[in-house]
Amino acid sequence: MTFNLKKIIKHLILLIFLFIMLGPFLWLISTSLKEFGDVFNYPPEIIPKTISWQNFERVFTSFSLVRYFLNSIFVTFVRTLGTLLTSSLAAYAFARLKFPGRDKIFILYLATLMIPFQVVMIPLFIIMKYFGWVDSYQALILPGVFNALGVFLLRQFFISLPKSLEESAFIDGASYFVIFSRIILPLAKPGLATLSVLSFLWSWNDFLWPLIIIDSDTMNTITLAISKFQGYYFTEWNLLMAATLIALLPTIIVYICAQNYFVEGIAASGTKY
């Protein structure tokens, strides 16, 4: 009886936390389906009396949302691939190659995680302006492909792999690059999937850097497009929530597709130092 009571209490606590986490998401969906006059009804309505599917149509007709959506997909896709490439190469070097000052360089590189983006955004903007990349895809993509957290996650995962696999490959005459591409990377799918999901989320939800570096309307990402639904004196909250829900769908799809690898990669990346 005591055991069952504890179990019930645990499940109740979990349900409370689940409601806290899902509450804003449910309110987002509810508001996106309401007419403008019903948004501020009191008492609040979770299930609207009149479901307005036209909100989603108006979102696409009010702005060039398809263009902004494609911009975000392109930038996010390229940034994620670039992050996987640079992080995996650097992580393999820190995990397996021996060179003077390796651990000190890694700790120094890891220390960059302590620096807020607001500290480096102005120097980064000046560098982009020097190269003539302001308001371009290069400026949106390149600064985001170098990620210290990604290097750390993959390094921890590579360390957990047995060295005997590499030693056998060395005996057979394989080079470092062959070992990396044909042995390490296929075994590191959970770690790569974890980094892919995280990189996708960082890039897709990025708002501050595109706001600084982008001038023209055609280069806007989906996050900047959503901000346009907010006015100084008037905001159509139902349209804003509908646009937010549309922007949220790709992240949910990516996580669902990679959730098994994601959980395994998170668990394995912290096993060794």
Q: What is the DSSP string of 171-223?
A: HTT--HHHHIIIIIHHHTHHHHHHHHHHHHHHHHT--HHHHHH--SGGG--HH
Q: Are 180 and 92 contacting, i.e. CB atoms less than 8 angstroms apart?
A: yes
Q: Which amino acid is at 167?
A: E
Q: How confident is the model at residue 123 (pLDDT cuts 50, 70, 90)?
A: very high
Q: Quick one: pLDDT band at residue 273, thresholds 50, 70, 90?
A: very low
Chain-centroid distance of CA 15 in Å reads 26
Residues 107, 4 share a domain: no
> Element (H or E) spanning 225, and its range?
helix 222-227
For residues 264 and 253, the model is more confident at 253
* DSSP reduced 3-state for 150: helix
- Give SS3 for 235: strand
Q: Are residues 109 and 29 in the same domain?
A: no
pLDDT at 89: 93
pLDDT band at 262 (very low <50, low <70, confident <90, very high): low
Amino acid code (one letter) for 7: K
How many folded domains does the chain comprise?
A: 2
* Residue 232: HSE in the Cβ half-sphere, 13 Å Cα cutoff: 0
Residue ending a domain, among 52, 79, 94, is: 52
| pLDDT at 272 > cutoff 50 | no
pLDDT higher than threshold 70 for residue 104: yes
Residues 7 and 115 in one domain: no
Mark whether 39 and 80 lie in a shared domain: no
**91 has a pLDDT exceeding 80:** yes
Is 80 exceeded by the pLDDT of residue 258?
Answer: no
Mean pLDDT of the chain: 86
Could you read off the pLDDT of 29-48 as tens digits, one per residue?
Answer: 888 888 888 888 878 788 88
Query: Does residue 181 lie in a domain region?
Result: yes
Same domain? 70 vs 27 = no
**Do 73 and 18 lie in a common domain?**
no
Q: Enumerate residues 6+ apart whose C-beta is below 8 A from 20.
A: none
Question: What dihedral angle (degrees, nearest 10) is formed by the CA atoms of 16, 22, 27, 28?
Answer: 160
The CATH number that applies at residue 191 is 1.10.3720.10
Domain containing 144 equals 63-268
Tokens representing 138?
């290069």
* Measured torsion, CA atoms of residues 43, 47, 48, 50, in degrees rounded to the nearest 10: -150
The pTM for the full model equals 0.84
Res 232 pLDDT > 70:
no
Please answer whether residues 184 and 161 qualify as being in contact, where contact means their C-beta atoms are separated by less than 8 angstroms.
yes
Q: Lowest-confidence range among 105-109, 172-176, 204-208?
A: 172-176
Lowest-pLDDT range of 112-121, 124-133, 182-191: 182-191
Q: What is the pLDDT of residue 10?
A: 86
Whether residue 273 is contained in a domain is answered as: no
Do the domain assignments include residue 57? no
* 149-190 pLDDT tens trace: 999 989 988 988 888 888 888 888 888 888 888 888 888 888
The reply to whether 36 and 69 lie within a common domain is: no
Of residues 60 and 206, which shows the higher confidence score?
Answer: 206
**Which residues are registered as beta bridge partners of 235?**
230
Judged by average pLDDT, the poorest of 105-109, 157-161, 227-231, 266-270 is: 266-270
